[in-house]
Amino acid sequence: MIELENVAYSYSGGELLSDISLKLAPGSFHFLTGPSGSGKTTLMKLCYGALLPTAGHVRLFDTDVRALTRDDVAQLRRRVGVVHQDCQFLDHLSVSENIALPLHVSGRSSEAAGEDLGDLLHWVGLTERANALPAELSGGERQRAALARAVIMSPDVILADEPTGNVDWEMSQRLLRLLIELNRMGKTVLIATHDLSLIRATKAHVQARVLRIANRRIQLAGADL
């Protein structure tokens, strides 16, 4: 599904990631962890084509990202739901319009998605807040709205970068339960987080693998977590 082969990424300052090989199989659940600044977000961006590797190969759905045109990348992002750390919205549109945005930009009519949208809002517990503006939402509500937006296209893969970064423990548990549910529906999930207790709490519910970035390389962390 997403495959990295000897991937390296350098900023002008120097190499951030090197010799990374990784394969996300369909239906798998992965955590990506590591200290701040270790390159978690960069690795996530490599996984949805926002960055191109400076060495090695990234294959998304069996296509090398270097061979993708800008439109191909757009097309690809309809199959990859991304939850950003600072979940960005269009601040002048309501929550429900923001969540439905991927449908509009891909030319699907919003009427057909009306019922799905209702279900989705209910699922993330934002039914009451559907007409609010993003600025009026709390941190947890923003994260749930971002998750809803990421899954409305029914993507094959969900990439979440610090989805629990700005929310309390209870809310992060709730978000995680939503992600676990998605994984049970067969979606591939990759979550970047530095919160080890969150990882531990999750492992009780789902078979999750933990990838750790250390010294610019990626290691499969054992069961010791």
In contact, 124 and 147? CB cutoff 8 Å: yes
- 107 token code pair: 């030319």
Least Å distance, CB 197 to another protein, is 29
In contact, 50 and 9? CB cutoff 8 Å: no
Least Å distance, CB 188 to another protein, is 17
**Which lies closer to another protein via its Cβ, residue 163 or residue 210?**
163
Phi then psi dihedrals of residue 77, to 5 deg: -70, -10
β partners of residue 160: 83, 191
**Which lies closer to another protein via its Cβ, residue 46 or residue 175?**
46
Least Å distance, CB 143 to another protein, is 15
Cα separation, 216 vs 225, in Å, equals 20
**Which lies closer to another protein via its Cβ, residue 8 or residue 68?**
68
Least Å distance, CB 214 to another protein, is 26
Cα torsion 53, 88, 203, 125: sign: negative
In contact, 167 and 139? CB cutoff 8 Å: yes
**Which lies closer to another protein via its Cβ, residue 36 or residue 109?**
109
Measure the N-to-C terminal CA separation of the chain; round to a whole number of Å: 26
Least Å distance, CB 219 to another protein, is 28
**Which lies closer to another protein via its Cβ, residue 23 or residue 104?**
104
Q: 3-class DSSP state for residue 124?
A: coil
Q: Side-chain half-sphere of 189: how many Cα atoms within 13 Å?
A: 29
Give residues in contact with another protein (CB under 8 A): 45, 50-51, 70-71, 74-78, 82, 84, 88-93, 97, 101-102, 104-106, 110, 149, 153
Least Å distance, CB 216 to another protein, is 22
**Which lies closer to another protein via its Cβ, residue 99 or residue 208?**
99
